[in-house]
């Protein structure tokens, strides 16, 4: 069985996170949608239908069942999709779920509807629901590694699950509002205080004395310290020191300097405006809480102060004494609009990645050059 995750014309709505990946490769809860489908349909080959410049790294395959990548699948949805044949299309309340062939024959999905995402801020807004669902999916029928007696548990201890190699010592873990998942070789260091729901993905770390409110996802190999509230880190990114970050989504290979702080609420408690990659201007939203959206490989210096609903593109390096602009395009150096040379940016990225035994792939370099040329 082949499943192709279709961006559903939402590439720009989830930028800057989707400047370097398809919608189906975005992480929320515990998984990306590609990983979630692989969990639900283990025999499936997963591919993507996305922007042309991304297709070499994220290729698509023919003769597939095409699935809406903006939908978070459930077990029941996956079973219904697997039954599609001929030219059938599965829909619910005007939203398409999946189609086979031309999709001319419409089938209405009758069970409880899946979750659909429309805008990037829904990633953190709906992370609570998705994280709880993912926790049930990944822990069903399995037994957790035993938690050390040095920890303090508030709430149901059965809502804490540790994979092999996970380490948690002298932490306060509160499951009153949701589960806490600690992935393979992940670590919660001493003195950390955590309120679920929380997902610690493989190899991730909460630093000494971290304060974390749910719903938060710490993606694979991320390191997080300070105070964090309802944040999603994609992978390989660091917020290693004190400072507040709330209602935010951080891409891959980002680094937030010591004492970086992000506003997530306007002083007048009003609804926020934020930059739209679709209209190329600031647009009104229906959200009151919104922090920082940061694209892959972007970084900021120590003591950086981000305004409410700031958007940073990919490969920007932000530093300076004043507040940065609320929209910072890709490949910006500093806060005054200077351009970050693409070759120096690639060199810097490889220096960072080398610490983990990795380097940029040629397909990734081609993506970055495409983005740089479009600036």
Average pLDDT by stretches of 10, the chain with 375 residues: 95 98 98 97 95 94 91 96 94 93 92 93 98 97 97 98 98 98 98 98 98 97 98 97 98 98 96 97 97 98 97 95 93 90 94 95 96 88
User: Residue 54's pLDDT is what?
Assistant: 97
Instruction: Decide which of 3.90.550, 2.40.128, 3.30.1490, 3.40.50 is the CATH code for 2-118.
Output: 3.90.550
d(CA 350, CA 362): 12
| Sign of the CA dihedral running 104, 110, 115, 117 | positive
| H helix or E strand, kind and range, residue 36 | helix 33-40
pLDDT reported for residue 337: 80
CA dihedral over 54, 58, 61, 66, signed as positive or negative = negative
User: What are the residue boundaries of the structural domains of the chain, listed by start?
Assistant: 2-118, 123-374
CA gap 216, 231 in Å, rounded: 5
Q: What is the pLDDT of residue 320?
A: 86
Q: How many CB atoms lie within 10 A of CB 288?
A: 14
Supply the pLDDT for residue 20: 98
pTM for the predicted model, two decimal places: 0.96
The CATH number for 123-374, chosen from 3.100.10.10, 2.30.40.10, 2.160.10.10, 3.65.10.10, is 2.160.10.10
Q: What is the pLDDT, as a whole number, of residue 247? A: 98
* pLDDT of 112: 86
User: How confident is the model at residue 111, as a pLDDT?
Assistant: 86
SS3 of residue 16 by DSSP: coil
What pLDDT does residue 371 have?
96
């Amino acid at each position: 069985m082949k499943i192709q995750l279709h961006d559903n014309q939402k590439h720009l709505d989830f930028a800057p996170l989707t400047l370097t990946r398809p919608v189906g490769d975005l992480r929320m809860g515990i998984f990306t949608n590609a990983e979630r489908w692989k969990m639900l349909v283990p025999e499936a080959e997963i591919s993507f239908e996305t922007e042309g410049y991304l297709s070499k790294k994220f290729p698509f395959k023919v003769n597939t069942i095409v699935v809406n990548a903006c939908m978070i699948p459930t077990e029941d949805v996956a079973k219904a999709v697997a039954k599609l044949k001929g030219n059938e299309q599965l829909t619910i309340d005007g939203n398409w779920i999946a189609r086979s062939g031309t999709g001319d024959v419409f089938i209405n999905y009758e069970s409880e509807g899946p979750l659909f995402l429309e805008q990037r801020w829904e990633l953190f807004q709906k992370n609570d629901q998705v994280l709880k669902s993912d926790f049930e999916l990944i822990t069903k029928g399995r037994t957790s590694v035993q938690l050390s007696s040095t920890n303090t548990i508030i709430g149901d201890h059965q809502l804490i699950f540790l994979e092999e190699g996970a380490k948690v010592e002298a932490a306060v873990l509160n499951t009153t509002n949701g589960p806490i998942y600690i992935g393979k070789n992940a670590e919660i260091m001493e003195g950390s205080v955590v309120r679920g729901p929380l997902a610690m993905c493989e190899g991730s770390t909460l630093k000494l004395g971290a304060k974390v409110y749910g719903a938060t996802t710490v993606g694979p190999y991320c390191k997080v310290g300070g105070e964090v509230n309802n944040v999603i880190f994609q992978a390989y990114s660091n917020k290693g020191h004190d400072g507040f970050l709330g209602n935010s989504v951080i891409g891959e290979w980002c680094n937030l300097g010591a004492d970086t702080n992000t506003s997530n609420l306007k002083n007048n408690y009003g609804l926020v405006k934020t930059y739209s990659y679709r209209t190329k201007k600031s647009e009104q939203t229906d959200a009151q809480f919104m922090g920082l959206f940061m694209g892959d490989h972007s970084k900021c210096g120590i003591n950086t102060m981000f305004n409410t609903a700031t958007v940073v593109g990919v490969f920007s390096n932000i530093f300076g004494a004043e507040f940065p602009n609320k929209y910072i395009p890709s490949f910006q150096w500093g806060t005054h609009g200077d351009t970050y040379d693409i070759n120096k940016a690639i060199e810097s990225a490889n220096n960072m990645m080398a610490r983990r035994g990795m380097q940029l792939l040629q397909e990734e370099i081609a993506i970055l050059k495409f983005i740089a040329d479009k600036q």
